Amino acid sequence: MASLRDIRTRIGSVSSTQQVTRAMKMVAAAKLRRAQENIFQARPYANKLSEIITRLQAQLDPTDHPLFVHRESVENVLLVVVTADRGLAGGFNANLIKLAEQTIRERYEKHRAEGRLFLVCVGKKGHEHFSRRDYQLVGDFRGAFDKLSFLTADKIASVAEDGFMEGKWDEVFVLYNEFKNTISQNRIVEPFIPIPAERFLTPVMESDGETADDDGTNDPIYEPGVHEVLASLIPRFLNYQIWRALLESNAAEQGARMVAMDSATTNAEELLKELNLKYNRARQDAITRELIEITSGADALSAG
């Protein structure tokens, strides 16, 4: 049985841990509010931009822009995997990494075996996981969420676009956690390049009433022309799609961390109750033993 000193030491340790998890929960809650504001502001623009690109694409031949062309043979593949820089967020990172590994097993196992699979890992957790397993990593975006900026999204989009145009890879997908609500996320595998002819909708987009089909009855007139507008919008579209994925992941991460720390704080409270009860019982047992020893000693003296 643990001594009173051991139990007191453990109570102090659990109490200190509880203070840390409570503080981390409060920090995550504050960051979550800011992250939610950012993603709620970004979603309407990203959705409208995607809608316009789809409308323009429908008016053109698929070969009118190189980023629309689906290559007959997919020789090389790039996956952009967005995780977090830190842990202590429940299954946030592990689940996204599992999704990436599952996607690779189901679609690109041969590409990986032949050295034709490349990864851009945004966030320290994904970068470290895949680098330890000898994946071919492109760029280094660890620490991207320490000071999240649109410039980071621009760099990632440029890596994907430039590599596609140069023939380094034939298709690009983005894997990330989409913010659904504070306690849950949607894990997304989104086609990025070539730009799909049909608009890709995430579960949140669908729940918000976004639609992939358009009858074309309300198509606007574009000036100076469809090609000119498209040439201007596509770089902005690609940058903003990555930016939205980063904002979604950031909000989802803070929500996951807040829930994880709340659960840890609650568990610490339960453990403290058990330890205090155990301490009180051990203390009572020690007092009882001392009384018995005193009584026995007194009886022995009386009998002598």
What's the pTM value of the predicted model, to 2 decimals? 0.87
Cα dihedral 245, 248, 251, 257, rounded to 10, equals -80
Per-residue pLDDT tens over the stretch 8-32: 898 999 999 999 999 999 999 999 9
Which band of pLDDT confidence, cut at 50, 70 and 90, is reported for residue 45? Answer: very high
The pLDDT confidence band at residue 141, using thresholds 50, 70 and 90, is: very high
Question: What sign results for the dihedral spanned by CA atoms 227, 231, 236, 241?
Answer: positive
Among 27, 53, 25, residue whose Cα is nearest residue 194:
53
Per-residue pLDDT of 85-110, as tens digits, reads 999 999 999 999 999 999 999 999 99
Residue 284: per-residue pLDDT? 85
Confidence of residue 288 (pLDDT cuts 50, 70, 90): confident
Distances (CA, A) of 275 to 11, 12, 16, 118, 183: 6, 10, 14, 50, 30
Rounded mean pLDDT of 161-187? 95
What gap in Å lies between CA 35 and CA 16, rounded to an integer? 28
- Find which of 47-61, 113-127, 276-290 is predicted with most confidence, using mean pLDDT: 113-127
